[in-house]
Amino acid sequence: MTLAATMLAGLAVVPALAQFTQQRSGFAPGQTDPFDSILARRIVMTTLGRQNDQVHDIIDGPGEAEEAAARLRLDNIGVFLLGIPEMFPEGSYVYSKELEEEDPSRVTTALPQLWENWDDFYTRSLVAAETAYRAGRAASWEELVRLTEDLEGQCESCHNEYRQNPEPIKFPPEPAQ
């Protein structure tokens, strides 16, 4: 099941690669086009959401039989969360209603407050990463469930503070009509 889920996730990412900026002129090594930063973080956040949904499916399902799979996904979530702040470089707040209508994958769903309150955002990401780490190593199933619920609250709180309600990016993109 894990291999199949990994393969499906990989298939979802391949079409997204075509959306990354193909023209690199104007960006020195180590600099990222703001549109690529936005797309990268939207892909990663979508992947995090899927991992989270799978953990909750395991918790809500028959129970401890898939405990190892839940722990693996919590580890993945923790690793992603450690890198999340680096996906929000200064200058990557790109949003306009017109651009959103033209291509929603090229606008940020982050609010300007994220950059204005950077230390808070950064700390929230690290605290959530630690919670995911602890959940993945919980001594009991009950502790795993409790920490996963704590993590869910931390993610929702950060989204409520720093994210507008986004339309999910569809992978693969729907063909033009």
> pLDDT (tens digit, 9 = 90+) per residue, 124-177?
999 999 999 999 999 999 999 999 999 999 999 999 999 987 655 555 556 666
**Annotated domain spans of the chain:** 33-88+97-162
**Worst-scoring range by mean pLDDT, 25-29, 56-60, 83-87, 152-156?**
25-29
Measured CA angle at 96 (ends 113, 153), to 5 deg: 40
> Which CATH number fits the domain 33-88+97-162, given the four candidates 3.30.565.10, 1.20.120.10, 3.40.50.620, 3.20.20.110?
1.20.120.10
Whether the bond between 15 and the residue before it is cis, its omega within 30 degrees of 0, is no
* Per-residue pLDDT at 113: 95
Tokens matching residue 60: 């809500």
Compute the distance between CA of residue 48 and CA of residue 79 in angstroms, rounded to an integer.
Answer: 10
Q: What is the pTM (predicted TM-score) of this model?
A: 0.73
pLDDT interval class at 8 (50, 70, 90):
very low
Tokens matching residue 51: 């991992």
